[in-house]
Each structure stands twice: as structure tokens, then as C-alpha cells.
Amino acid sequence: MAQVSVTGYTDKPSVVEGETVSFYVTADNATEAQVDIVRLIHGDENPEGPGFIEEVVSSDFSGVKQVKKQFVDLGNAIRVPDSSGKLALTDSLTIATYVYATTPEKGRQVLLGKFSLHETAGYALGIDHAGRLAFWIADGSDTDEIVSQVPMAHHTWYFVAASFDAKSGKAVLHQEAIVNPYNGRLGRVAPFDHLSSVEQSLKLKIKSATTDFMWAAAGNSATVRGAFKDLLFNGKIDRSYVWNRALSLAEIKSQCGQSPIADGLVAGWDTTIGYGENGIDDIVVDVSANQLNGIGVQRPIRAMTGYNWSGKHDDWRVAPQEYGGISFHEDSVVDCQWDVTFSWTIPEGLKSAAYAARIRIGEAEDHIPFFVRAAKPKARILYLFPTSSYLAYANEMIVHHVPVAQAIGSHPAVLTKTEADYFQDPKYGRSTYDHYTDGEGVCYTSWLRPILNMRPKWRSSAIGTTWQFPRDLSATAWLEHQGYDFEVATDHDLMRDGLDLLKNYSVILTGSHPEYWNEFGLNVMEEYISTGGRLMYMGGNGFYWVISYRDGEPEIMEVRKGEAGMRAWQAEPGEYYHATSAERGGIWRNRGRAPQKLTGVGFTTQGFDACHPYFRMPDSYHKSVSWIFDGVEGEKFGDHGLALGGAAGLETERYDLLLGTPPHTKLLGSSTNWSDNYPGVHEDIMFHHPGLLGTQNPAVRADMTYFTAGNNGAVFSTGSIAWTSSLPSFGYENDVSRITKNILDAFSKPGELPGGAWTEDEKSWR
Ligand SMILES: [Fe+2]
């Protein structure tokens, strides 16, 4: 029997009453599904905790809905709208460009052309099945070609061109490498023969294809699926040109590194035009009289080094003329562009919480989450779901692709069926922890696609526990169980509404791993705390990576991993600056903004073999903070939890005055006895030497801290991702729960904080 499956995504991560959320759903081998809106109460199915809990929202929306299979047109391209048909060339022509192929051997790829496979029509400059530069023309029934004498080397810039004289049938194909000490993988001492010039007669005439002129793709079509891109290219393309006449070989050779000959120029795309103070958009500017501007498809990566990168500057803002590179990948997707399957308008008075459309087709089930925030905030407590960090991890598959993944995780990964299927066919794109098929790190992620690991029951096979969203539901379930009146919002609400969102609340609770922050978000959080807000930082490895979103485009996030940090990849030299914000990517610490300055603690170690208890530190007995431990017996706490048995672990943080921990911060608790599966973080290491792992490294620990800020503001930090997963232990009644409750009770009351009378007495504990 054909296998039934269903999944989908929403048009936005959060909504308020009266707003409509739309769902885009695909179903294999089914036409109908039972759909209900459910409130997500708890996710983690670990039997030590409350298990999965949802509550159906009764409404007339529930019922059977029509569903269908929807396809994803994977891959980058640049599409050139051309209503006057200037590029519908059927006579003589010349195409020239600069290309840096990353997988020339992968099979046929189009560089530039108006070429249609299903029509066997058009023309294109490309790379053939043997990795050789090729030029194809097709007449409606057959294809003719001219190919280079030598294959292209990967990660090497070439100037390439083809011309075709329709009268004589003569075609010219030319390639020459542009190798300087910086711009490619190999230097000039590698003795490759990159040069090839071929002349040959072609027998066919060009029949124009109906597909658009595209960079990096050909058009194709199939019966059920409809039109899609094919012959996708991996690598970079720089400035490109089309003429409506056949340039001679001498003319072609004279074009390398030069402005294009004006005679017969139909299009001349200057990929270095368009850089502004906030980056560069998806429009590729044609500087010819025809103004045939191209538009990037699925977000090709711009702000990349070009064929002429001199290595002198690593910032496109300083030398934009050296940053004409645009990077294309066959497996990139930032928007599935599906048809809306159904929509739901949020009824008045619906509780602010995490919800999902629960879709069931027989045994197949999916939850498509979304968040409902308060239209008119009334609660004093806000739980901030870290949607930017959920995006960073969207469809992460490190365990499958990274050779050292099991050494990092210390567990043999037992894949779920969903993971096993998806890892073999990552049709909804990858996470910023992964690499495209050509090995380049993924720097764009978006929510306009199914995110299979942002699901309430998801467990990471690599780690053997939950990650991100399902863990965060343990915090909101705890809030609910304890009877707190709270509301929820997301990073995306914070980035849109700023302090106007946060100032409604006395206390903000973060997610378990709020790792990815843009500058605006950090500024807002800093302002909130310093003007009297209270932050409960309920996680670990937070406030860590620089991210950016283009103005007005909150669905697509950019991250460029730099030369430090615990990172899944590293941007190529010269490509550290974001295309969507002009900022230097990397870790905030290396831009002068270590997390310690905001929260008292910052990333110090990660490991996944076991989690640990904390022990009270001397500061915790000071009268200004001892109230935090009211009701907690003994010195040890957090020796339990749904995440590998402890509250301290997975990714943890440390108090560090040298990195900006406010000097009056109280070190409440810390943990010891870590294994060598927990190494110190990369950004702390200058020299490698014995003793950097958990059994010997004093930086390998989790620190819990507390400090007061101006105007009765305060920050409590758990220093550990696992903390949140310990809240539900023993029916939500445990020491982690008690400490969290003591803090939250104090933070959610207006006015003076407990222990305030003793702040002048801070150094005299005991
Ligand atoms: Fe992380």
C-alpha cells in the first residue's frame, strides 16, 4: 500500500485574536485529512515526565479538509523577466560569464541560458556530464553542443564564453582560469591546464524556449508537478553578458576582466551593483540599455567574493567591485510557495499559548505549530519562544552528515523513520547547522517550509533528548501547572514590536536555548532590563550568534558562522559579512558583546553523555539572595530531569568577570564532575594543550547567577539548557521547580525585590 504522509507550514509564526493564520499542507497518497486546532501543553514523551499533552480547541473549524500533494521547486536561480523577448535569441549570439563551479562533476548544469528540457529548445552555456564547459542549442527536437577540451577544476574561477553564428553554424567556446593567490582553492603553482578554445560547426538552428532566461537552471515540466527548474548549478557566478551577434574568438578573449563591448550587447549584468548600507537585495542589475534586471530565486547568496577578489579586504562594504560573486545551490529553499490548504481566524479571547494544526490521515499525523500572543496583554509574565533559534535548527541533520557527530553526541544515533526518510531526501531544505550538497555552509533558513524538528514530540536522535521547541513546552507546561497567569510571544514579535512588547510585563522567561539574536533584539532586552525589567534566562548557550533579517522580511534569517565559536561550518575567507544587514557575522562575543554582559553568564561547554546536578555556591547564602533557595534542602539540587537525568548540562554557561559578568553578580550554584565529552568552548582556546576537556578543565561547568539592575530590574540565569527539562520531574514538584518558582514569584511582583535591603552589604555574606 502506498505510504501516506502529511506535513506543512504556516504563513507566520505568531498571531493575535482576529488575525488569520494560513496553513500550507502537502499529503502523499491522500486527498482528505482530519484537522483540529490543538493547544500544545507538553511535548517531551520521556516517561519520567508528564508525556505528550494537547487540548483540542473546540471550534467549527475542526473537520475533514481537502489536501493534495504539493511540490518543492528546490534550487537557486536568477530569473530574468523579458516581456519584449530581447533574450529570445534564435539567430547569432554570444554569452560570457565568470564561473566558480563547486561540483563540476555532478552532471549537466546550466550557467546562463534560455533553455527548456521538455521542449528541447533554446540555448545555454553550461557544464556537461563530464565536468566540461559546454554550449547547447536545441531546435525543438534535438540538441547540438560544443564542449571544452579540458574539464573545469572545482573551486576555481574561470572566464567562460560561447558564441554562435547562425548563418555559418560556427560556434566558438572559450575558457580561461583566473587564479590569484586568494580567490580559489588552489594557487598558481598547481599546474592545471585550464585554457581551452574550441571552434566547431553546429548543425541545428535555435528554436526559442518558452522558459525564462535563467542563471543556474534550465526549465522543465512534468505532468503532475508542472513547471520546475532543472540542470541546477552549484557554485558562484559573477558578472554576465549576452550579445545578439557572434563575437570572434579574439573579441571574446579581449573581454576577460573588461567592460563589455557595446556593439550588440543585449544584457550586461553587473553583480556588484546594488550594495547599500543594509546589504544587497535579490535584484541583479542589467546595466545595458535594455535594463533586463534579474531576480534571485530561493535566495541565492550574495555578498560573496568574486573572480577578482584581491584578498586585501574581507568586507564587501570596502571593495564592492570585488564582491560580484553570487552563490547558487541545487538544494536551497527558502519558500515552498505552496497553495494555501486552509486558514483559521483566531477567535476572541483565545488564551495566549503555543498551538498547532493537528492533521491526521489514518495513522499519519503532523502538528504544525504557531503561537497566539495576547492582543491586550494582561499577565505580568511573558514566555518568549525563541523562534530565531528554532529557524537556525530547522531540519537540522548534523548526525547524518557530520563525520564527528557521534563523537560530539557520545550516543549512537538511533534514527526515527522521519529522520531516516528526510536525511535521504531533504526536500524541505536544510538548517544553518548543515551544508548544501556542494559542502558550503547553509546561511539562510526560513519558516516558509515544513520544519520537521519544530514539532511537539520531536526528539533528537543524536542527543537522545528533545531540542528547542519541545523542551520549551516543558517550561510553559510548568507555568500552567503552577497556576501562573502568563502570556507568550516570539522572537519575531520582539523584533517587530521592540520594547512596546516587553514593557507590558514584569518578567520575561527565555526559552531553553535562545542562541540566535539580532542586534535590535539584544538592544531591546538590554533596555528592558536596565529600565526595571526582570529576565529569567532559562537556558544555555544563548545570545550567541549574530543573525539578521532583511527589513520587512521576517521569514528569512541569515547567519554566517565565522572564525570562532562552536560551529557547524565556517564561512569562506572574505565572506563573513551578511548580505541582509551589512554586519559582520559570527559570535557576538567577538563583536564586543559577550552574553555575560547581558545575563551574567556565557557559553562555556557542551556535551551530550549525561547531565548533572548543581551545588550551592557560597554567594547563595547571602541575605540578599538566600530567599531563592527557600524550601530547598541541602547543597545539591537538580539531580534529575527529562534531559539525561540532570538540570545542568547539554550546553552550559559560566560566570566570567573578564567577559563582562556584572561585578555584583551572585554565583548561586555551579556543577562539577563532568566527563571528557564536555570540552571547553572553541572561542576560549588560544593554544591547544592537555586539560581542555571536562575532567580537567575548570571552565567546564554550569553556573547559576543572579544580579540586580537599575530601577528594580534583575536577571536570573540558569546557565544550562537542561534546566527547563527538570521542571516537570516528580509531578512538577522538585528543587528546580522550587527555585524557579521563588524567582518567578519575586520577579512578577512589582516594586522592591526580596533581599534589596542587603544590597549594600553584598560582600558580607555569612
Ligand atoms: Fe545551539
What's the CA-to-centroid distance between 236 and ligand 1, angstroms?
29
For residue 351, what is the domain's CATH number? 2.60.40.1930
Residue 106 counted as domain residue: yes
- Measured in whole angstroms, the distance separating CA 271 from the mean position of its chain's CA atoms is 24
What's the CA-to-centroid distance between 732 and ligand 1, angstroms?
26
Helices (H), 235-290: 249-254
For the cut 50, the answer to whether the pLDDT of residue 765 exceeds it is no
The answer on 504 and 421 residing in a single domain is yes
What's the CA-to-centroid distance between 679 and ligand 1, angstroms?
15
Q: Note the pLDDT tens digit of each residue in 134-156.
A: 999 999 999 999 999 999 999 99
What's the CA-to-centroid distance between 140 and ligand 1, angstroms?
52
What's the CA-to-centroid distance between 650 and ligand 1, angstroms?
10
The answer on 99 and 233 residing in a single domain is yes
The answer on 136 and 56 residing in a single domain is no
Please state the rounded mean pLDDT for residues 670-697. 96
What's the CA-to-centroid distance between 560 and ligand 1, angstroms?
14
The answer on 402 and 321 residing in a single domain is no
What's the CA-to-centroid distance between 595 and ligand 1, angstroms?
14
Query: Into how many domains does the chain fold?
Result: 3
The answer on 149 and 41 residing in a single domain is no
Phi, psi of 222 (to 5 degrees): -135, 160
What's the CA-to-centroid distance between 540 and ligand 1, angstroms?
9
**Cα–Cα distance between 15 and 141 in angstroms, integer?**
52
- The residue out of 312, 328, 344 marking a domain boundary is 328
The answer on 222 and 126 residing in a single domain is yes
What's the CA-to-centroid distance between 697 and ligand 1, angstroms?
21
For residue 666, what is the domain's CATH number? 3.40.50.880
Side-chain-side CA neighbours of 625 within 13 Å: the count stands at: 27
Q: Note the pLDDT tens digit of each residue in 233-255.
A: 999 999 999 999 999 999 999 99
What's the CA-to-centroid distance between 101 and ligand 1, angstroms?
31
Please state the rounded mean pLDDT for residues 205-227. 97
What's the CA-to-centroid distance between 507 and ligand 1, angstroms?
24
What's the CA-to-centroid distance between 495 and ligand 1, angstroms?
20
One DSSP character per residue, 140-185 reads SS-EEEEEEEEEPPTT-EEEEEEEE-TTT-EEEEEEEE---SSSSS
Residue 51 counted as domain residue: yes
What's the CA-to-centroid distance between 566 and ligand 1, angstroms?
8
If you search the block for the grid coordinates 553583480, which residue do you land on? 271
Residue type, 696: Q
Residue 450 counted as domain residue: yes
pLDDT of residue 766: 36
Grid cell for residue 588: 557576538
The answer on 58 and 100 residing in a single domain is no
For the cut 80, the answer to whether the pLDDT of residue 763 exceeds it is no
What's the CA-to-centroid distance between 659 and ligand 1, angstroms?
20
The answer on 362 and 282 residing in a single domain is no
For the cut 60, the answer to whether the pLDDT of residue 129 exceeds it is yes
Please state the rounded mean pLDDT for residues 336-342. 98
Nearest C-alpha neighbor of 135 from the set 103, 96, 104: 96
Q: Note the pLDDT tens digit of each residue in 529-570.
A: 999 999 999 999 999 999 999 999 999 999 999 999 999 999
What's the CA-to-centroid distance between 462 and ligand 1, angstroms?
13
Residue 77 counted as domain residue: no
Residue 79 counted as domain residue: no
What's the CA-to-centroid distance between 282 and ligand 1, angstroms?
29
What's the CA-to-centroid distance between 606 and ligand 1, angstroms?
9
What's the CA-to-centroid distance between 232 and ligand 1, angstroms?
31
Q: What percent of the chain has pLDDT over 70?
A: 99
For residue 156, what is the domain's CATH number? 2.60.120.200
What's the CA-to-centroid distance between 465 and ligand 1, angstroms?
14
Please state the rounded mean pLDDT for residues 450-474. 95
| DSSP type of residue 631 | T
Q: What percent of the chain has pLDDT over 90?
A: 92
What's the CA-to-centroid distance between 547 and ligand 1, angstroms?
13
pLDDT of residue 756: 76
751: alpha, beta or left? (left if phi > 0; alpha if psi -120 to 50): left
Order of strands, sheet of 714-717, starting from the edge strand that comes earlier in the sequence = 486-490, 381-385, 507-510, 534-537, 714-717, 704-708, 666-670, 614-616, 636-637
What's the CA-to-centroid distance between 459 and ligand 1, angstroms?
15
What's the CA-to-centroid distance between 352 and ligand 1, angstroms?
27
What's the CA-to-centroid distance between 516 and ligand 1, angstroms?
8
For the cut 60, the answer to whether the pLDDT of residue 761 exceeds it is no
What's the CA-to-centroid distance between 513 and ligand 1, angstroms?
7
pLDDT of residue 539: 98
What's the CA-to-centroid distance between 559 and ligand 1, angstroms?
13
pLDDT of residue 760: 60
What's the CA-to-centroid distance between 625 and ligand 1, angstroms?
30
What's the CA-to-centroid distance between 300 and ligand 1, angstroms?
25
pLDDT of residue 218: 98
What's the CA-to-centroid distance between 55 and ligand 1, angstroms?
30
What's the CA-to-centroid distance between 620 and ligand 1, angstroms?
29
Residue 271 counted as domain residue: yes
What's the CA-to-centroid distance between 311 and ligand 1, angstroms?
31
What's the CA-to-centroid distance between 511 and ligand 1, angstroms?
12
- Residue 112's domain comprises 86-328
Residue 766 counted as domain residue: no
What's the CA-to-centroid distance between 393 and ligand 1, angstroms?
8
Grid cell for residue 469: 521547541
What's the CA-to-centroid distance between 211 and ligand 1, angstroms?
42
277: alpha, beta or left? (left if phi > 0; alpha if psi -120 to 50): alpha
What's the CA-to-centroid distance between 342 and ligand 1, angstroms?
33
pLDDT of residue 1: 57
Report yes or no: 614 and 648 within 8 Å, Cβ to Cβ: yes
**How many Cβ atoms sit within 10 Å of the Cβ of residue 711?**
10
**Cα–Cα distance between 302 and 78 in angstroms, integer?**
12
The answer on 361 and 314 residing in a single domain is no
Query: Given pLDDT bands bounded at 50, 70 and 90, which one contains residue 716?
Result: very high
Q: Note the pLDDT tens digit of each residue in 579-621.
A: 999 999 999 999 999 999 999 999 999 999 999 999 999 999 9
Please state the rounded mean pLDDT for residues 149-173. 97
What's the CA-to-centroid distance between 541 and ligand 1, angstroms?
7
pLDDT of residue 625: 96
Please state the rounded mean pLDDT for residues 611-634. 96
What's the CA-to-centroid distance between 651 and ligand 1, angstroms?
8
The answer on 260 and 180 residing in a single domain is yes
What's the CA-to-centroid distance between 575 and ligand 1, angstroms?
22
pLDDT of residue 192: 86
If you search the block for the grid coordinates 564582491, which residue do you land on? 323
What's the CA-to-centroid distance between 515 and ligand 1, angstroms?
6
Residue 645 counted as domain residue: yes
Strands 381-385 and 486-490: parallel
The answer on 483 and 406 residing in a single domain is yes
Please state the rounded mean pLDDT for residues 373-397. 97
Lowest mean pLDDT among 187-191, 209-213, 321-325, 591-595: 187-191
What's the CA-to-centroid distance between 389 and ligand 1, angstroms?
8
For the chain, the residue count is 766
- The residue out of 314, 346, 372 marking a domain boundary is 372
- Please name every residue paired with 372 in a beta bridge, in sequence order, or none if there are none: 15, 353
Q: Note the pLDDT tens digit of each residue in 183-204.
A: 999 999 998 889 999 999 999 9
What's the CA-to-centroid distance between 177 and ligand 1, angstroms?
40
What's the CA-to-centroid distance between 536 and ligand 1, angstroms?
19
What's the CA-to-centroid distance between 122 and ligand 1, angstroms?
47
The answer on 657 and 742 residing in a single domain is yes
- Please name every residue paired with 241 in a beta bridge, in sequence order, or none if there are none: 96, 268
What's the CA-to-centroid distance between 22 and ligand 1, angstroms?
29
What's the CA-to-centroid distance between 549 and ligand 1, angstroms?
19
Strands 77-80 and 213-215: antiparallel
pLDDT of residue 418: 84
What's the CA-to-centroid distance between 147 and ligand 1, angstroms?
46
What's the CA-to-centroid distance between 658 and ligand 1, angstroms?
23
**Cα–Cα distance between 235 and 144 in angstroms, integer?**
25
What's the CA-to-centroid distance between 194 and ligand 1, angstroms?
42
What's the CA-to-centroid distance between 218 and ligand 1, angstroms?
37
